[in-house]
Structure 1
Amino acid sequence: MAYLFVALTILLTVYGQLVLKWQVGVYPHLISQPFSLQNIATLLLKPWVISAFAAAFGASLCWMAAISKLPLSRAYPFMAVNFFLVALLASWLFREHLDAYKIAGTAIIMVGVLVLSRSVG
């Protein structure tokens, strides 16, 4: 069950990041200069932005459940999966450039996660 909570944390976090990227792309004028509290408030009240913040809150709840059952040193390395998923999905959804350096760096992170997950204790 603990790993289900870790997976939910990852999925909700990735969802939130992708939705926020999408929404600031849809409404770039709301975060452009000059800085305006009214523009930020308008953006924060968009339904998709609210859903992204709700996902972040849900991810926090799942994370608390996960670390109540797993040592933090065992659970935390799995958060690196966020790098992989966000990079992959951002390249697909937003046409962000995914070059050899980003792929290699992400692969190194994933290998590190595998090594750390094999740790006993």
Structure 2
Amino acid sequence: MQPALLMLILTSVAMSAIAQLLLKMGVGGVRADGAGAGIAFLQSPWVIAGFGLYGLGAILWLYVLARLPLSAAYPFVGLGFILTMALGVLALGESISPIRIAGTLLIALGCVCVSRSIA
């Protein structure tokens, strides 16, 4: 795989993971219920930033998909699970169990296997 394409994949995945963090931060402070909560969510600067980052990441992802087979590109989305979990621990103080760590390592191993199978 070309290094430039790999960097675009990793950037897109990282943008998606960071967007998840921003969305979580945005909805964490909302104390409304029902339809009011939905409106409050959409007014949060963190939620707006999260959606914006998702959009930019999606544009990068489209560029990647135009240049790689879907079956080669999509497994890298699994890296988003790893990065999102790490962000949850580091930025939000979430705790993780050994079984969650093991599952995350299996995802990482799968991504390595797929990347090595691409000519």
Write the letter of the residue equivalent to 1:16: A
Cα distance in 1 for partners of 2:24, 2:41 equals 12
Q: Which residue of 2 aligns with 1:41?
A: 39
Is 2:18 the counterpart of 1:15?
yes
1:69 is paired with a residue of what secondary structure? coil
Q: Displacement, 1:80? A: 0.6
Structure 2 gaps of 5+ residues are none
Distance 1:9 1:120, change over 3 A: closer
Correspondences of 1:95-114 after superposition (within 5 Å) = 95-114=93-112
Q: Displacement, 1:42? A: 2.4
Structure 1 gaps of 5+ residues are none
Kindly tell me the number of residue pairs found equivalent between the two proteins: 116
After TM superposition, the runs of 4+ consecutive aligned structure 1 residues lying more than 3 A away are: none
Cα distance in 2 for partners of 1:17, 1:120 equals 29
Aligned-residue CA RMSD in angstroms? 1.4
The one of 82, 85, 88 equivalent to 1:87 is: 85
Q: Percent same amino acid among aligned pairs?
A: 29
Cα distance in 1 for partners of 2:75, 2:63 equals 16
Give the TM-score normalised by the residue count of structure 2: 0.89
Cα distance in 2 for partners of 1:99, 1:42 equals 33
1:110 is paired with a residue of what secondary structure? helix
Q: Displacement, 1:45? A: 1.9
